[in-house]
């Protein structure tokens, strides 16, 4: 029986360690001062040599990746062509980076497509990119923002962030730990392709974001039903960009997971604390 260690840094920022090898999803640490919960980890938490897999190009997933590449010289990043272009643009706009270092950073960003299977160098981990889409924001979340004065005061900074960080292709990932087990990760939630979800069913662990809609927990429960993991873990439900974001309700997923057939164990991760999960 194998085991895998997961550390959640809020949003979709997740470190996964198996047999001493680390992979990261969406390693974003640059939260604003009012974000809840506060996290202490910074880009230094990313192991040099880790492979980073990006679900999509939005700022709350991608913003720290150029700094990570500059600081960690053995990190590799796998993402959509649009996200790759964003990273390259940000790297080129960083003052004081010598040409060889810039080239070395850009060389380590790999554009991938859905269906691609990546083996992080020196490991027995296989990571397959799953075709997915971004959640559509609901009227309640949008109206809440439109009628909130505090939000308007902040919209300028967010506006810049949205424009500078286009979404690009959206991927989930199916991670195979040798023959010991699997973890399926999504960085945005989509139930539009049930056949694709079914093709990635029965993992040991399913990680899903509950963010962007007030009824996201219900969509999360439906995705959980189709994927049918042993364990489901919500991420991204934290209040990462107040006042625009909010703690997203997880109740439907929390209460519904155990009632699925077969029942799924619902686990919320504490932030910044490594938790061990056993693989079948």
The least distance separating Zn ion from the CB of residue 99, rounded to whole angstroms, comes to 33
**Minimum CB distance to Zn ion, residue 39 (Å):** 19
Query: Residues interacting with Zn ion, by CB under 5 A?
Result: 58
Q: How far is the CB of 30 from Zn ion (least distance, A)?
A: 15
Nearer CB in complex with Zn ion: 35/106: 35
Angle between helices 81-92 and 99-107 (to 10 degrees): 170
Task: Give the pair of three-digit tokens for residue 179.
Answer: 């023959």
Query: Containing H/E element for 126?
Result: strand 125-132
Least Cα distance to 39 among 62, 65, 7 occurs for 7
Minimum CB separation of residue 56 from Zn ion in Å reads: 6
CB of 173 to Zn ion, least distance (A): 15
Query: What is the β-pairing status of strands 231-235 and 205-209?
Result: parallel
Residue closer to Zn ion by CB (options 113, 162) is 162
Nearer to Zn ion, 240 or 277 (CB): 240
Helical H runs in 73-127? 81-92, 99-107
Residues 6+ positions from 187 with CB-CB distance below 8 Å: 12, 25, 26, 54, 55, 56, 61, 170, 171, 172, 209, 236
């Amino acid at each position: 029986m194998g085991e895998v260690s997961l550390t959640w840094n809020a949003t979709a920022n997740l470190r996964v360690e198996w047999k001493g090898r680390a992979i990261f999803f969406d390693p974003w640490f640059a939260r604003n001062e009012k974000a809840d919960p506060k996290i202490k980890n910074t880009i230094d938490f990313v192991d040099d040599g880790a492979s980073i897999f990006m679900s999509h190009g939005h700022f709350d997933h991608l913003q720290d990746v150029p700094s990570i590449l500059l600081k960690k010289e053995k990190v590799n990043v796998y993402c959509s062509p649009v996200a790759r272009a964003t990273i390259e643009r940000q790297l080129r706009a960083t003052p004081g980076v010598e040409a060889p270092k810039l080239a070395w950073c850009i060389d380590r960003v790999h554009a991938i497509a859905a269906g691609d299977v990546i083996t992080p160098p020196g490991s027995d981990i296989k990571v397959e990119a799953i075709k997915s889409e971004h959640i559509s924001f609901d009227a309640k979340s949008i109206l809440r923002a439109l009628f909130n004065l505090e939000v308007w005061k902040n919209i300028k900074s967010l506006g810049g962030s949205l424009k500078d960080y286009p979404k690009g292709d959206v991927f989930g990932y199916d991670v195979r730990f040798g023959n010991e087990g699997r973890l399926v990760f999504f960085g945005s939630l989509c139930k539009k392709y049930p056949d694709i979800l079914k093709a990635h069913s029965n993992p040991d662990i399913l990680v899903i974001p509950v963010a962007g809609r007030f009824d996201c927990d219900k969509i999360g429960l439906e995705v959980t039903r189709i994927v049918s993991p042993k364990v489901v873990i919500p991420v991204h439900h934290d209040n990462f960009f107040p006042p625009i974001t909010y703690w997203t309700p997880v109740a439907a997923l929390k209460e519904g997971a155990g009632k699925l057939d077969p029942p799924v164990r619902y686990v919320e991760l504490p932030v910044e604390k490594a938790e061990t999960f056993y693989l079948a």
